[in-house]
Amino acid sequence: MEAGRLTLWLNGGCWLVELILLLIAVDGGRRFSGFVLGCALWLLAPFALLELAARFGRFPVLVNGSLMLTVMAGLWGSLMLGEMAFRVTTKPEAQDAALMVIVPGVQLMAIIPTIALLFGIGKVLTRLK
C-alpha cells in the first residue's frame, strides 16, 4: 500500500497549498475570520474525500486511483486558485469569488463518480481472482 502513503502525503501538500492561496486571496492578511474558515473547509472537502478513500480503501485500484485523482485535482485547483490570487494571465474581475465555490464543486463532481467507479472495478477484480 505504498500508493496509499503517497496519496496521504500529497493530500497534505494540496491542503497546504490551497489553504495558503485561500488566505492570500480572501483574507488579504487580516485576521482569520469564520468566513475564511468556512471557505477553507469547502476548498479542502475534495481532498478530505480522497484521503478517506486512500486510508480506508479495501481495493488497491481504489488506493492507486485516489493517488491519481489527488494529483489531478490538486494541480487543477492550484492552477485555478493561483491564477485568481496572483493574476498571471488575466485581469481582476468581480466574479473571482465564484471560483471559491466553483472549483471545489467541480472537483467533487469529478471525484465522487470516479471513486464509485474505482470501487466497482475493485469489487469486480476481487471476484475474478
How much is the average pLDDT of 111-123? 92
Q: What is the pLDDT of residues 2-38, one digit of tens each?
A: 555 565 556 666 666 666 666 665 555 565 566 667 7
- Residues 16 and 21: their CA atoms lie apart, in Å, by 9
Domain ranges for the chain: 2-128
- Residues 107 and 104: their CA atoms lie apart, in Å, by 5
Q: What is the pLDDT of residues 48-81, one digit of tens each?
A: 888 888 878 888 888 888 888 888 888 888 888 7
Amino acid 22: pLDDT: 62
How much is the average pLDDT of 85-100? 76
Rounded to whole angstroms, what are the CA distances from 99 to 31, 92, 110?
22, 12, 16
CA 74 to chain CA centroid, Å, is 5
Q: What is the pTM of this model?
A: 0.72
Q: Give the residue with greater pLDDT, 92 vs 60.
A: 60
